[in-house]
Structure 1
Amino acid sequence: MDEFLYTNRWYWKNVDDEMEPKTYTCYNCGETISSREGYTCSESSFAKGTYGKIYICHICKRPTYFFNNEQVPGSLLGDEVKYLPENINKAYNEARKCFSIAAYTSSVLCCRKILMYIACEKGAEEGKSFVEYIDHLDNNGYIAPNMKSWVDQIRLLGNEATHKLENKNREDAELVINFTSILLKIIFEFPSLLN
């Protein structure tokens, strides 16, 4: 865990603690909070309208910006998955963070790479082709018959993100992260719960 990102030792100066309360899910700590602390932004000190607000999470002390009710960065999509190997956990959280800042193509590419990480974690040799990694997972029973379409969707959207100029959209990234989350739970989290 990156202490800088997850510490609650942040202190903000000149915070307005009488702002209109805002309930949201913090992108950093994942908690749903209602904050009154932060900063407002207007065009000038004489302007009457407010153009944006920065709210401070009272749990982790991280800022979140709101403009026209759009949260930046957004909350993390996908469930937290337990018992993941470190490299897979980093890639999964990278995909989730990419999604939270609307970097959808990057999010899809991370999920594609996770399939390679899973295959290597489950015995495939590094340096193989992507098809060989998918075959390894399939041939060794890590992909149940009803999961093949999920893995294929991750593969296809990941291939498009890798080999075509077109960027991926929110819907593509959301689908891929949700499928990846379920796949990781089935392969890593659920078996570890039995131990």
Structure 2
Amino acid sequence: MAKWYKTESIRPNEWVCGYCGNMVGGDEGYFGIQPPNHSWDGDNPGNDFVYVCPRCKNPTVFVHERGNVVQIPGPLFGNDVDGLPETVEALYREIRECVKSGCYTSAVLSERKLLMHIAVDNGAEAGKSFYDYVGYLSDAGYVPPNGKDWVDEIRKRSNEANHEIVMATQEDACQLLDFIEMLLKFIYEFPSRVRRK
């Protein structure tokens, strides 16, 4: 682990570390100034800060950008899911990294691909259309009864991202990822918990 040189005590902060994923708090790091402030006051909320994670010792930067405070690297969106097959887990992680990096169109297209993987992994015939795979998941009982509207929304948004010249939004990517996380827990995590018992 790195030992950071000449860190200072700065304004305390809490954040989810983009490296280790832990909820942490700390007051060790560095601060910069934002013109026209020109203040070296480490307690000034207008300054940019670099915090050192007390768990993994990696740096996290908080900068002011267009009136918002942006964390770099940000935390992964969504939650870890246990019991996933290797390819499903790798693609799910890749999607979470896309959302974290602001690559929302890439995330939506990958979410579409992940749903296809999930369907085939659970008995759907390979080589079918995305529409068929989403229908399979719904018809085979992998989607809860009140989730049918989500299925239609996924079909619509994924079609737009794949076949039209539009960019996906953060909301598009995050809503689809919420749905996929729920499916992954329902299809993989909960059954794996029962098997472990």
TM-score (norm 1): 0.82
For residues 110 and 62 of structure 1, do their structure 2 counterparts lie closer, same or farther at Cα, with a shift above 3 Å needed?
Answer: farther
Question: 1:42-191 counterparts in 2 under 5 A?
Answer: 42=33, 47-48=38-39, 51-68=47-64, 69-191=69-191
Q: How far is the alpha carbon of 1:174 from its aligned partner?
A: 1.8
Question: 2:5 is matched with which residue?
Answer: 14
Structure 1 residue 28 corresponds to structure 2 residue 37: no
Instruction: Say how many residue pairs are matched.
Output: 184
Per-residue deviation, 1:143: 2.7
Gaps of 5+ in 1: 1-8
Q: CA deviation at 1:34?
A: 1.0
Q: Once the 2 structures are TM-superposed, how far is the Cα of residue 154 of structure 1 from its aligned partner?
A: 2.2
In structure 2, distance between residues paired with 1:151 and 1:43: 46
What is the Cα deviation at residue 33 of structure 1? 0.9
Secondary structure of the structure 1 residue equivalent to 2:55: coil
CA distance in 1, matches of 2:32, 2:4: 16
Hey, which of these two has a bigger chunk of strand by percent? 2
* Displacement of 1:51: 4.6
Amino acid in structure 2 at the alignment position of 1:34:
G
Deviation sequence 1:81-101 (CA, Å, 0-9, x none): 111111111111222222222
C-alpha separation between the residues in 2 aligned to 1:43 and 1:32?
Answer: 27
Which residue of the other structure, out of 7, 12, 32, is the alignment partner of 1:41?
32
What letter is aligned with 2:166?
A: E
CA contact (8 A) 1:72 1:100 kept: no
112-121 or 138-147, which deviates more? 138-147
Whether the 8 Å CA contact 1:88–1:118 is kept in 2: the answer is yes
Alignment partners' CA distance in 2, 1:15 and 1:88: 43
In structure 2, stretches of 5+ residues that fail to align are 41-45
* 3-state secondary structure, aligned to 1:66: strand
Cα–Cα, structure 1 residues 160 and 35, in superposed 2: closer, same or farther, change >3 Å?
Answer: same
TM, length-normalised to structure 2: 0.82
Query: RMSD of the TM alignment (CA)?
Result: 2.2
